[in-house]
Structure 1
């Protein structure tokens, strides 16, 4: 693909702060369907997710809503109008959640800052850990007598002090649970706050009653209520910290674009906000600075670190006429850039959109989780009440039966269920993006895990997509340099791929190219002209045969057998056509192709190839990369590629189609998973919108890597769900039968949600075999 950044199609027109999804041509702004993200603070568990989604869907004009507990965000699709934000904010605040629309105001640029929505600010972090520290200062003195008894010491804290310490925890730090429970009760639902509030209140009230009824000698349980609240707060603080780690990849991307640009005008350089830069402006970029826009270099030579976009560890050379993209890092030279795209139209914005879309998506299994979470808390409440009634009825002391019920209420954890899937998706898609693998949604991960066949296109996918002059077979009386010199002269004004191959070969051999006169091109056949006063023609084999030239059969046959494309150079002499040379061209195989095919086979995948090229060329490439010639198809038109994919699917195969995202778009769409290779950053935007998985650099090692991270992410989702279900299935009966005290139950509940996120965070250590991690300047290493 050849072109500038402005040639890349832009698929998302903007409407105010929103990104338009669809609208009839005659629609007004009030009828546009829009999608946008907003931050939501205060979500604690799967029940909260359900409440938020129900609240959003109840707002007039809202057509769809997907809530992400791990990222603390919601993606809303709605009919845009001037009062939409206010209605959404009011609906969420009535439910006790704090919405933030700050992200919308940045949507035009589609790049969030490091303090973006869904990421706790410094004050929020201090509030989380400040509450934990305060709760510990009240609760630890209550635990000292119990710990001392383990050492044989007898310590007794006066009941009055126990009451005061526990009441401070219950009334001040536990107020948030009462508030959340009340808001859920108003809607006729129950959530995690309900369980904590009821359980700790029961323990606190029991202790207060025993103190009042039996005096200072009574056995009190104030430490249970205080420590449960403390442990829940500690678990939530750890969980919030872990959630921030899961979103580090997207935050890194969002923070890449600089805020200030150096615009060059008639009066010299002037620093301006990036939002004020327009296409056509000229910007100066100093050594070590990030490019703020997509553009084309107009002055200066430099090296550009593109690790943030492609995962490529080494900087690449860029000079006048070369394209650069926003977020990449300039090397050691000052350069001038003509702006081609800004804000939401940049390749960086398209990459961010893709990662955000993947992290906002929901796996099919989450629908089951949503249904379970809707009845989970009510069932736990019934189990808690049943535990108390049955235990007391069977002769257990009142306080023992009540404490068992408290443990049941406290140990149940809907949080782990709610975090199991989104935490894995956020981490998995983030680490994949670090290596240049962009995933459209969780369905793409699930489908890639199930696929057993990979179908490659040839040209531009397994091969470089650039013709190369392999050999020149000259007539006995002529040498290669002379023939190449005449051929290069004929091709000096052409942009045809074969012409570029001839000119590149001449330059590599440092051959002076003479001028040409009277050029005449015959479409589909070749070109003729006068070089040094002699008429020469360079054309196809068929055209040479039409002209009656004697073409050396052995040279032609050898070239065709090797899968080469053949051109013939001849001179039109008075005595007839004189053949001078046969030129054989080939499209070089990518160095990463054979290792990638081998890696796919080791993963148990079948590998096939389909191409529009002639059989000899297809078989040559197949033999070089390790694909069985019987698993290839040549001469395939676009509709033939679609048919090949559909035939495999009809025979029960899950198919991944790998192509360039442009010519292969129909076949990519027909496959279970379309995997498009972006040919450098020029083709990134095209490939992103043409595929379920986009590979941002021309390294076929990314194909098995993408399948591997898909498998690992979906495996992590299943592990998390298994742990969340097993945890509740095991611990609730233990609490019912008295094997878990309220304090241990509180600790187990806090540990469950943290363990789910910790398991998801293991994906951050994923390293695809055969790939070098991005350089140190990659945003995934610096936040």
Structure 2
């Protein structure tokens, strides 16, 4: 699991193809499409998703969509490149399903009258034949077409089972009608097709509901942008924007692209992107994500992202990646699906033969075999895992949690230790310079000027704090970063260093003097930086204070409530780290750790048998995030974090850590529940059908109910609410 965070994007020599697959109905269909695609030379991996009716293929650069589509067609299914028009195509398909369901229901209803009336109402055999034929070769035609394609490809599917089962009941009734003997079983075949059609209609609606997350993100971005030109403001398509373009966003409009505010400030509603319920204030210099809704004022912004590379675009791709992936448990379902249809056909033949050998009438034997075929359709088996993942990842995104791989579910389930970074994770990440302590004979203003010069181009939070304290400092020359320690640079012709106590000690500073100077200050929970000459001469100490995030204590309590040990792992000094730990109630502290040591400490925890989740800002914690069983990157470093960890939290709210773990566990539990119900219907239903205790109509209803119940259980995830919601 240690390499999970670094294994998301295929090598540059490979390409990812996304196809919409038409005609899949069950787990066997998924297995067949995957098998056909994997036979193409150059294909590295294939993930077919029944819930989204899609396939994601990673292949060598020479493999084309045309070759992939041809392979899918050879397996008996349709395929096309996925486009933004998929929702419209799904709507048309659901409308067609509704129309065919209506025809089947209207034609089947009269066939039930004799049974419902206890024989008081009798229908002419010719009318029953006509009504049953309408259903069998109208709404039921799709089962013959798809079943034939399946058989021609040398495999079986739900369509084969339904076609054989309903044809047997229909054919037996036609034979008895021609021989002028009874009873007739036309209602069995017609009602089974109607019930399966009903199940499929409900299933399609539920699948569309489950898969709305990516489409919802895409809908946040407007189609038109107001670009500022020399002649005024002109409207153009968002796709035509380029980095550097200046755009105008007016109150009530959504930001068309990731852009930086030129001047002024305004409130933006980012709830649909980050899950933040309240509008947030963005000031000059701040970047606003595409899709954010301007609330109160017109602003001009400069576009900073290439077309297709905005945060929304990248989030959508991550969600699609997660929904296309498969957790380890899916291998079990795939293995069963590969053998399911042939085994069910054998059981149905055994049932038919058993009843005939027992002396039962042919009609009794056929009806029992038909019941086995109908109730055993493996629709629910194919839906259980993808339905839970598609719904769960969509719900997570709505709450500001990006889950980028289904494997995360297994890792989150086993986590027993959560390790937090300090700055920017449990604290605001905006330290302020609160004091400067120069050495005797040195002016405080000179220390400030030198430190600000060394920090003028730095990205560390302490560097930003120094720039805020002295914003007009000229940058030092030949500045270089000393990893995990500080910076070196030349100011006024002299080489100077600015960094932590470790840097000061390694440079040769007087350790006794350092200890005496810093002992009292560190006990107050502050962070220190030391300004030194290259020879180790200490010039001064700068004191910074950073406050804990508003909900940091609540986050620690919530994580511990999940049964996890909570630790702090930081590069800050012992005093600041332990002061925060006392304030928040953390279980353990490891301080003064550079990125290399951070990774080593995570590895040491894992070597001791701990299952570790590392929470950091995704900037200087990448190595530790990758080493952990589960990496979680939090808000302030979102842009970098999108490539750093398998879970990304889009807001600076540490409570989202507990929410992410709790939701991942909930999704995994729903996944297992779906598989349980998919299996239990068959485990109980097949024997009952084989022994004649279920008729085909009840079997058809049970089969439809299994798929709908699995999807319905997955959709319950949409009611989930976290602490940070």
Fold conserved (TM > 0.5)? yes
- 2:522/2:573 contact within 8 Å kept: no
Compute the displacement of 1:93 (Å): 2.9
Compute the displacement of 1:552 (Å): 14
Q: Per-residue CA shift, 1:173-197, capped at 9, x if unaligned?
A: 2111111111111122111111101
The 1-side partners of 2:474 and 2:633 are apart by 43
Is the partner of 1:318 in helix, strand or coil? strand
Consecutive unaligned residues in structure 1, runs of 5 or more: 1-10, 13-18, 24-31, 104-112, 475-482, 507-512, 530-537, 570-578, 773-783
Is the partner of 2:338 in helix, strand or coil? helix
Bigger mean CA deviation after superposition, 387-396 or 89-98: 89-98
Q: 2:115 aligns with which of 135, 146, 165?
A: 146
The question of 1:729 aligning with 2:683 is answered yes
The question of 1:451 aligning with 2:415 is answered yes
Structure 1 segment 425-574 matched on structure 2, within 5 A: 425-469=389-433, 495=456, 501=465, 557-565=519-527
The 1-side partners of 2:113 and 2:685 are apart by 26
Compute the displacement of 1:344 (Å): 2.3
- 2:271/2:277 contact within 8 Å kept: yes
The question of 1:670 aligning with 2:665 is answered no
Q: 2:706 aligns with which of 752, 765, 783?
A: 752
Q: 1:374 aligns with which of 335, 338, 347?
A: 338
The 1-side partners of 2:669 and 2:399 are apart by 20
The question of 1:206 aligning with 2:172 is answered yes
Q: Per-residue CA shift, 1:346-380, capped at 9, x if unaligned?
A: 12111111111111101111112111111111111
Residues 280 and 527 of structure 1: is their aligned pair in 2 closer, same or farther, counting only changes over 3 Å? closer
Compute the displacement of 1:207 (Å): 0.8
The residue that corresponds to 2:3 in the other structure is none
The question of 1:655 aligning with 2:619 is answered no
Q: 2:559 aligns with which of 584, 591, 600?
A: 600
The residue that corresponds to 2:576 in the other structure is 617
The question of 1:197 aligning with 2:163 is answered yes
Residues 552 and 414 of structure 1: is their aligned pair in 2 closer, same or farther, counting only changes over 3 Å? closer
The residue that corresponds to 1:697 in the other structure is 651
Q: Per-residue CA shift, 1:252-304, capped at 9, x if unaligned?
A: 11222221112222222222112221222222222211111112122443211
Q: 2:19 aligns with which of 38, 42, 52?
A: 38
- 1:69/1:419 contact within 8 Å kept: yes
Is the partner of 1:441 in helix, strand or coil? coil
The 2-side partners of 1:49 and 1:735 are apart by 26
The question of 1:586 aligning with 2:545 is answered yes
The residue that corresponds to 1:124 in the other structure is 93
Compute the displacement of 1:767 (Å): 0.4
Residues 610 and 213 of structure 1: is their aligned pair in 2 closer, same or farther, counting only changes over 3 Å? same
- 1:258/1:290 contact within 8 Å kept: yes
Q: 2:11 aligns with which of 19, 22, 25?
A: 22
- 1:292/1:327 contact within 8 Å kept: yes
Compute the displacement of 1:71 (Å): 0.6
Compute the displacement of 1:67 (Å): 0.2
Q: 1:416 aligns with which of 376, 380, 396?
A: 380
The question of 1:635 aligning with 2:599 is answered no
TM-score of the pair, normalised by structure 1: 0.81
Residues 555 and 712 of structure 1: is their aligned pair in 2 closer, same or farther, counting only changes over 3 Å? same
- 1:468/1:588 contact within 8 Å kept: no
Compute the displacement of 1:449 (Å): 0.8
| Count of matched residue positions in the alignment of Structure 1 and Structure 2 | 689
The 2-side partners of 1:91 and 1:369 are apart by 23
The 2-side partners of 1:73 and 1:281 are apart by 36
The residue that corresponds to 1:98 in the other structure is 78
Q: Per-residue CA shift, 1:441-488, capped at 9, x if unaligned?
A: 1111111111101111222222222223557999xxxxxxxx999998
Give 1 or 2 for the bigger CA radius of gyration: 1
Bigger mean CA deviation after superposition, 301-310 or 86-95: 86-95
Compute the displacement of 1:503 (Å): 8.3
Residues 650 and 717 of structure 1: is their aligned pair in 2 closer, same or farther, counting only changes over 3 Å? same
Is the partner of 2:547 in helix, strand or coil? strand
- 1:20/1:35 contact within 8 Å kept: no
Residues 484 and 144 of structure 1: is their aligned pair in 2 closer, same or farther, counting only changes over 3 Å? farther
Q: Per-residue CA shift, 1:28-51, capped at 9, x if unaligned?
A: xxxx42002111121100011011
- 1:413/1:752 contact within 8 Å kept: no
The question of 1:160 aligning with 2:114 is answered no
Is the partner of 1:100 in helix, strand or coil? strand
The 2-side partners of 1:146 and 1:161 are apart by 15
Compute the displacement of 1:615 (Å): 1.4
- 1:350/1:685 contact within 8 Å kept: no
Report the aligned-residue RMSD.
3.4
The residue that corresponds to 1:532 in the other structure is none
Consecutive unaligned residues in structure 2, runs of 5 or more: 1-5, 480-485, 493-497, 532-538
- 1:525/1:540 contact within 8 Å kept: no
Bigger mean CA deviation after superposition, 190-199 or 267-276: 267-276
The residue that corresponds to 2:144 in the other structure is 178
Residues 676 and 502 of structure 1: is their aligned pair in 2 closer, same or farther, counting only changes over 3 Å? closer
Q: 1:306 aligns with which of 231, 251, 270?
A: 270
The question of 1:76 aligning with 2:57 is answered yes
- 1:491/1:503 contact within 8 Å kept: no
The 2-side partners of 1:360 and 1:280 are apart by 35
Q: Per-residue CA shift, 1:120-140, capped at 9, x if unaligned?
A: 443222101000000001000
TM-score of the pair, normalised by structure 2: 0.88
Compute the displacement of 1:219 (Å): 1.2
Bigger mean CA deviation after superposition, 405-414 or 260-269: 260-269
